[in-house]
Chain A
Amino acid sequence: AQSVTQPDIHITVSEGASLELRCNYSYGATPYLFWYVQSPGQGLQLLLKYFSGDTLVQGIKGFEAEFKRSQSSFNLRKPSVHWSDAAEYFCAVGAGRGGGADGLTFGKGTHLIIQP
């Protein structure tokens, strides 16, 4: 079965500094990979996704992520964070369990705190 690990439960970054959120997955074939963001009291919003092709994907709000098959990783980056980026971030893998929709498997999330 597929799994997702987000090693960092909390990360604190100063406003204007760069950000990298880590995500490692476990799956036998090429997975479909996603990053979602959740602001307090809200549902999840898709930041970006990887299905195939270029391993560096651009998303909304200035985020990007790089798929590294050799490391089974899909880390999320942003060159300069803003206070509004404070939120919960979830990495997810959609790998299929035998047909149909099958759903996504999520990591446990990384809580991003922005210091002024």
Chain B
Amino acid sequence: DVKVTQSSRYLVKRTGEKVFLECVQDMDHENMFWYRQDPGLGLRLIYFSYDVKMKEKGDIPEGYSVSREKKERFSLILESASTNQTSMYLCASSLGITTEAFFGQGTRLTVV
């Protein structure tokens, strides 16, 4: 089975901190994604990557950056965390555009 692992299930950070959310997949997938999930808004795409060192902005990239130095790892970075970034963050990977995305368990981030 494909496994997508997010490094933390719960995080509490202070306003202004730099925050790293890590995601690792074990199936050699080309594509990786970061989504944000908020009640009533569903999932919104923050960034995605279709190759090592490649990244593309999604629908809500403001306040975020990403890093993909290795194929299996995709990091989401909050340069200066703010309270409006309190949310559930979901990482996903897929083999190609026509194949389904596999999701990690999510990281619930609280910024205080």
Chain A: residues with CB nearer than 8 A to chain B? 9, 32, 34, 36, 41-46, 49, 51, 90, 92, 94, 96, 100-109
Q: How far apart are A44's CB and chain B's nearest CB, in angstroms?
A: 4
CB of B19 closer than 8 Å to a CB of A:
no
Chain B: residues with CB nearer than 8 A to chain A? 4, 30-33, 35, 40-45, 48-50, 54, 56, 58, 90, 92, 94, 96-98, 100-106
Q: Is the CB of A94 within 8 A of B42?
A: no
Q: Is the CB of B45 within 8 A of A104?
A: yes
Nearest 4 interchain pairs by C-beta: A101-B31, A100-B50, A108-B42, A43-B103
Q: How far apart are B4's CB and chain A's nearest CB, in angstroms?
A: 8
**Can you list 6 A-B pairs with a CB-CB distance of less than 8 A?**
A32-B98, A43-B104, A44-B103, A51-B98, A101-B30, A103-B58
Q: Which residues of A contact B43 (CB under 8 A)?
A: 44, 90, 92, 104, 106
What is the predominant secondary structure among interface residues of chain B facing chain A? strand
Q: How far apart are A18's CB and chain B's nearest CB, in angstroms?
A: 25
How long is the Cα–Cα vector from A44 to B90 in the complex, in angstroms? Answer: 9
B49, B97, B104, B105 interface centre (most CB from chain A within 10 Å): B97
How long is the Cα–Cα vector from A43 to B56 in the complex, in angstroms? Answer: 23
Q: Is the CB of A43 within 8 A of B100?
A: no
Q: Which residues of A contact B56 (CB under 8 A)?
A: 100-102
Q: Is the CB of A43 within 8 A of B101?
A: no
Q: Which residues of A contact B96 (CB under 8 A)?
A: 101
Take A32-B98, A46-B100 as given contacts and tell me if A103 and B33 are in contact as well, using a CB distance cutoff of 8 Å.
yes
Q: How far apart are B26's CB and chain A's nearest CB, in angstroms?
A: 15
